[in-house]
């Protein structure tokens, strides 16, 4: 039609449109470098603090007048801040002298005494981790510039036809061809490789490489200079992940390692073994944990370049079956796929799942950042706002019995009571069988439900202390201040068919006791007055674990989706998918198990206990020297998880449903049918009861844990056992959460 505007030309005439705001990461950088808290920005713009957090993470965008004001604020901060540090200066501390010994600022700095017992742990025992392998860090991780993107002397090549069948080689080549093109991060060969006894290295995405080295020094050189292994940093002030080489049993034999470790106490090679001696002769160093299942081999930082390789020795138990399911028995290509997925979704493994959980916290919130020295104009290391920046001693009630802050406070052999120690642990409670009603006894089944990623969900948005505690007497309770409070909550009544939320055993407290902030806040939420006698408060606080939770949540949901369990399923669809998911991809099942273990183990490492026959009570142990040794944060997470559990059980109790047993994140209810949908209440429009348990895949929602006959549960209660511990049955898969 004459005169009609071409719609394509009209659309092109409206552009080009450009985003008038910097990227989310730059928004956060400007605010933190300017020294502003999110709450200050939120107050100035008239929005909630969580809204600002959404803008800085990219989850949401400001609109209208708020967008214009936010843009003006960002532009103003950018104009007033000094010029940003050069690329090579990001996350740079003072130069590290060549002879500086490694500083253990990561978990596991004392020798392990061996594998924990296989007997069922007490509730929360997995959240009180002992020292274990792989925790040393060669030098201050946050103090070292990233390794340069380009690596000279690349010698990686495909295996020859004589070494590998043509069909397998073609398949590997095809898979490698489907890999995403190398990115600007400088690590086109992925984060890790699994070596076999033929000198073949299996990488992520089907990549297959030749590793001609036949000894450990040669393997380390190959990892640093023959290929480009590694992973980009998770935070701009952090450092890139070091290459990981996983040695199968045949690969370990090829490079001169024994099939087992004779020293079962320290799980380390003796210093006079040929392998450590060969490394020393080649000018390589080991961390003070020596050469064990997880080993870091390094040279001091040279000309701004980090030189470090992580080794995992499979025949020595590097991949604990309780965390990684059957991953250790997988063929090398499948193992590389499983470890690669974990590396991409969580981080490159650096030790046990517990070590990885703690290292992830530091990787997402490094303790230092570059700041401008006003006197010299040089870039120097400074504390990173919102991070744990230095080691702090716990308040006396927060400290485990061995800690030096308790030395001389109590006679030898003294057992501390509720007024002397903080006892925030997970539930371990079972009903008195005499409290079962006739209606409950008429039901046919006992059904267990388990909260998905319960401790991760408890860490979400949790306000925790970042620095030292301040002791105050007769304080007014403030739920916004993390800390430990001595308060009497014994006057608060509860139905005997519910556990008391103020003790792990579910009984009423006998008098005043120490509690973390979430527990005291819950008492006030229930409408009761609280009058603390004293408190140890942390006035510098923040949501330190938010990024940690988000990454692990996303890893969990992504892995579940790979196993056919998706968000948005109806409760019935979800339960059906969960019933089948254990028959899915073994590699994804291993990743799922490892993600769950990373959550629990990471929380447990916050209160790592001393290990080793040479330790004496009252002495310091190496874990105390890292900023992430924080028993108060562990207590707050467990307190929050227990309160979340009790809040939902109370909501079901209001609908007439009471549990018969609770163990950590599992609750057992009596039901007329074999599944959760047979007893969980729904509203008239078919929606889950508000505030109660919801069936679904997301963290904080529940899955079916197991079902047993009613008489089985009653017999368990009569014999003094907790049905929640055994509801899955004797042949249930281990390592589940």
Tell which residue, 641, 712, 609, has the closest CA to residue 113: 609
Q: Looking at the predicted structure, is the pLDDT value of residue 100 above 70? A: no
pLDDT tier, 128 (very low <50, low <70, confident <90, very high otherwise): low
Residues 171, 236 share a domain = yes
pLDDT score of 163 more than 50: no
Q: In whole angstroms, what is the distance from residue 646 CA to residue 607 CA?
A: 24
* Pair of tokens at residue 680: 């969980």
**DSSP code, position 383:** E
Query: Residue 661: what pLDDT?
Result: 98
Evaluate whether residue 382 is within a structural domain: no
pLDDT for 101: 34
Which residue(s) pair with 428 in the sheet? 663
For residue 191, the 8-state DSSP code is: S
Per-residue pLDDT reduced to its tens digit, 494-528: 999 999 999 999 999 999 999 999 999 999 999 99
CB 466 within 8 A of CB 542: yes
Average pLDDT across the chain, whole number: 85
Answer yes or no: do 326 and 447 share one domain.
Answer: no
pLDDT at 410: 87
Phi, psi of 624 (to 5 degrees): -70, -15
Residues 564 and 680 in one domain: yes
Radius of gyration of the chain (CA): 27
Nearest to 538 by CA among 611, 603, 484, 457: 484
Q: Find the largest Cα–Cα distance for the chain.
A: 100
For the chain, count helices (H), then strands (E). Answer: 21, 20
Specify the pLDDT at position 699: 97
Which residue has tokens 């998911």? 581
Q: DSSP alpha helices (H): ranges in 614-688?
A: 631-654
Place 125 in a pLDDT band, splitting at 50, 70 and 90. low
pLDDT at 413: 84
Instruction: Kindly report which listed range (5-19, 144-158, 457-471, 610-624) carries the lowest average pLDDT score.
Output: 144-158
pLDDT tens digits along 610-659? 987 778 878 899 999 999 999 999 999 999 999 999 999 999 999 999 99
Three-state secondary-structure class, residue 279: helix
Helix (H, G, I), strand (E, B) or coil at 59: coil
Shared domain check, 60 and 147: no
Tell me if 383 is assigned to some domain. Answer: no
Report pLDDT digits (tens) over 666-725.
999 999 999 999 999 999 998 999 999 999 999 999 999 999 999 999 999 999 999 999
- Distance between CA atoms of 718 and 661, rounded to whole angstroms? 12
CA–CA–CA angle 229, 231, 234 (5° rounding): 170
> Residue 391 contacts by C-beta under 8 Å, 6 or more apart in sequence?
624, 625, 626, 627, 629
| 26-75 tens-digit pLDDT | 898 888 888 888 888 988 898 887 788 888 877 788 988 888 899 889 98
- Which percentage of the chain shows pLDDT scores above 90? 68
Q: What is the pTM of this model?
A: 0.79
pLDDT at 1 over 80: no
Q: Which of 490, 426, 389 is nearest to 667 (CA)?
A: 426
- Is the confidence at residue 735, as pLDDT, over 90? no
Q: Is 339 helix (H, G, I), strand (E, B) or coil?
A: helix
Contact residues for 631 (Cβ-Cβ < 8 A; gap 6+) = 394, 398, 399, 400, 422, 606, 607
Residue 484 has pLDDT above 90, yes or no: yes
Q: Would 285 be classed as within a structural domain?
A: yes
- Domain boundary residue, one of 80, 101, 121: 80
Domain that holds residue 361: 136-371
Q: Is residue 582 part of a domain?
A: yes
Is pLDDT larger for residue 265 or for residue 155? 265
Contact yes or no for 263/346 (Cβ under 8 A): no
Which residues, 6 or more positions from 3, have their beta carbon under 8 angstroms from its beta carbon? none
Q: Which residues pair with residue 706 across a beta bridge?
A: 448
pLDDT band for 480, please (50, 70, 90 cuts).
Answer: very high
Which of the four pLDDT bands, split at 50, 70 and 90, describes residue 729? confident
The verdict on residue 94 lying in a domain is: no
Give the pLDDT band (50/70/90) at residue 164.
very low
The CATH code of the domain that includes 53 is: 1.10.260
Using DSSP bridges, classify how beta strands 661-663 and 541-542 pair: parallel, antiparallel or unpaired: unpaired
Sort 400 into a burial class: Cβ within 10 Å, 0-12 / 13-18 / 19+: middle
Please choose, from the candidates 221, 183, 219, the residue with its C-alpha nearest in 3D space to the C-alpha of residue 204: 183
**For position 34, what pLDDT does the model report?**
84
Q: DSSP label at 293?
A: S
Same domain, 216 and 365: yes
40: its two tokens:
């200050």
* Sequence-ordered strand ranges (E) for 182-275: 192-195, 200-202, 208-210, 244-247
pLDDT tens, position by position, 412-463: 889 999 999 999 999 999 999 999 999 999 999 999 999 999 999 999 999 9
Look up residue 107 and give its DSSP letter: S
The single-letter DSSP state of residue 272 is T
Q: Give the ranges where 476-544 is alpha helix by DSSP (H).
A: 517-525
Domains of the chain: total: 3
Encode pLDDT of 246-293 as tens digits.
Answer: 999 999 999 999 999 988 788 999 999 999 999 999 999 999 889 999
Q: Residue 417 has which token pair?
A: 């009571």
3-state DSSP assignment of residue 407: coil
End residue of a domain, out of 53, 80, 107: 80
Identify the pLDDT of residue 177: 36
- 274 in Cβ contact with 115 (< 8 Å): no
Query: How does DSSP classify residue 623?
Result: G
- The verdict on residue 113 lying in a domain is no
Share of the chain above pLDDT 70, in %: 82
Residue 737 has what pLDDT?
44
Q: How far apart are CA 561 and CA 575, in angstroms?
A: 14
Q: Do 349 and 242 share a domain, yes or no?
A: yes
Q: pLDDT for 344-367, tens place per residue? A: 999 999 999 999 999 999 999 999
CA–CA dist 534, 537 (Å, integer): 10
Q: What is the pLDDT of residue 438?
A: 96
Pick the more confident residue, 195 or 37: 195
**Does residue 480 lie in a domain region?**
no
In a domain, 418, yes or no: no
More confident residue, 21 or 113: 21
Residue 119 — very low, low, confident or very high, per pLDDT cuts 50/70/90?
Answer: very low
Give the pLDDT band of residue 3 (cuts 50, 70, 90). Answer: low
Q: Answer yes or no: do 225 and 328 share one domain.
A: yes
Verify that 222 and 308 share a domain, yes or no.
yes
Confidence of residue 167 (pLDDT cuts 50, 70, 90): very low
Residue 73 and residue 162 in one domain = no
CA 130 to chain centre: 16
List, edge to edge, every strand of the sheet that includes 470-473: 470-473, 534-537, 483-488, 512-516
The three-state secondary structure class of 126 is helix
Residue 181 in this model has a pLDDT that exceeds 60: no
Give the span between the Cα atoms of 169 and 157, in whole angstroms.
12
């Amino acid at each position: 039609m004459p005169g009609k505007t071409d719609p394509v030309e009209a659309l092109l005439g409206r552009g080009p449109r450009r985003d008038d705001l910097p990227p989310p990461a730059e928004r956060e950088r400007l605010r933190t470098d300017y020294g502003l808290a999110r709450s200050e920005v939120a107050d100035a713009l008239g929005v909630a603090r969580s809204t600002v957090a959404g803008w800085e993470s990219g989850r949401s965008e400001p609109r209208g007048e708020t967008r214009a004001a936010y843009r003006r604020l960002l532009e103003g901060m950018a104009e007033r801040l000094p010029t940003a540090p050069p690329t090579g200066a990001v996350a740079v501390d003072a130069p590290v002298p060549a002879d500086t010994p490694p500083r253990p600022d990561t978990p596991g700095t004392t020798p392990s005494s061996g594998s924990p017992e296989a007997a069922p742990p007490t509730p929360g025992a997995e959240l009180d981790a002992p020292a274990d392998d792989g925790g040393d860090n060669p030098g201050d991780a946050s103090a070292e510039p990233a390794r340069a993107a380009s690596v000279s002397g690349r010698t990686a090549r495909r295996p020859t036809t004589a070494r590998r069948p043509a069909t397998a080689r073609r398949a590997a080549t095809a898979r490698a061809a489907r890999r995403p093109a190398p990115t600007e991060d400088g690590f086109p060969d992925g984060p890790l490789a699994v070596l076999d006894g033929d000198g073949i290295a299996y990488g992520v995405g089907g990549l297959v490489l030749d590793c001609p080295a036949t000894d450990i020094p040669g393997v380390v050189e190959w990892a640093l200079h023959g290929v480009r292994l590694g992973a980009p940093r998770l935070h701009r002030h952090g450092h890139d992940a070091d290459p990981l080489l996983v040695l199968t049993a045949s690969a370990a034999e090829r490079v001169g390692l024994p099939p087992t470790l004779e020293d079962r106490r320290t799980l380390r090679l003796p210093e006079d073994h040929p392998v450590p001696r060969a490394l020393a002769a080649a000018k390589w160093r080991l961390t003070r944990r020596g050469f064990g299942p997880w080993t870091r081999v390094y040279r001091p930082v040279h000309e701004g370049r980090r030189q470090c390789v992580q080794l995992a020795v499979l025949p020595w138990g590097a991949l604990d079956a309780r965390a990684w399911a059957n991953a250790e028995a997988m063929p090398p290509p499948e193992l590389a796929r499983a470890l690669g997925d974990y590396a991409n979704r969580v981080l490159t493994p650096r030790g046990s799942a517990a070590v990885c959980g703690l290292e992830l916290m530091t990787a997402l919130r490094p303790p230092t950042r570059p700041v401008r020295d006003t006197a010299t104009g040089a870039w120097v290391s400074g504390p990173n706002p919102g991070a744990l920046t230095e080691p702090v001693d716990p308040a006396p009630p927060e400290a485990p019995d061995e800690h030096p802050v308790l030395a001389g406070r109590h006679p030898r052999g003294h057992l501390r009571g509720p007024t002397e120690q903080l006892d925030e642990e997970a539930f371990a409670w079972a009903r008195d069988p005499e409290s079962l009603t006739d209606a409950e006894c008429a039901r046919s089944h006992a059904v267990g439900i388990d909260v998905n990623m319960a401790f991760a969900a408890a860490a979400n948005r949790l306000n925790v202390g970042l620095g030292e505690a301040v002791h105050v007497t007769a304080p007014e309770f403030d739920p916004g201040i993390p800390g430990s409070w001595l308060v009497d909550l014994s006057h608060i009544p509860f139905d005997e068919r519910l556990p008391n939320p103020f003790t792990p055993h579910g009984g009423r407290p006998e008098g005043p006791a120490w509690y973390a902030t979430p527990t005291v806040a819950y008492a006030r939420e229930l409408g009761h007055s609280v009058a603390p006698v004293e408190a140890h408060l942390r006035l510098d606080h923040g949501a330190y674990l938010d990024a940690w939770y988000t990454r692990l949540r996303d890893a969990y949901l992504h892995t579940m989706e790979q196993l056919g369990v998706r968000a948005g399923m109806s409760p019935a669809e979800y339960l059906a998918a969960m019933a089948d998911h254990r028959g899915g991809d073994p590699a994804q099942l291993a990743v799922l198990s490892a993600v769950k273990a990373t959550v629990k183990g990471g929380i447990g490492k916050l209160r790592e206990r001393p290990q080793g026959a040479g330790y004496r009570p009252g002495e310091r142990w190496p874990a105390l020297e890292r900023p992430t040794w924080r028993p108060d944060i562990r207590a707050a997470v467990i307190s929050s998880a227990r309160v979340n559990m009790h809040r939902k059980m109370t909501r079901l109790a209001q609908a007439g449903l009471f549990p018969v047993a609770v163990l950590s994140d599992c609750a057992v209810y009596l039901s007329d049918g074999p599944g959760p949908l047979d007893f969980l209440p729904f509203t008239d429009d078919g929606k889950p009861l508000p505030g109660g348990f919801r069936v679904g895949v997301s963290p904080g929602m529940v899955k079916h844990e197991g079902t047993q006959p009613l008489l089985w549960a009653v017999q368990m209660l009569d014999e003094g056992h907790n049905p929640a511990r055994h509801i899955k049955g004797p042949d249930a898969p281990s390592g589940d959460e």
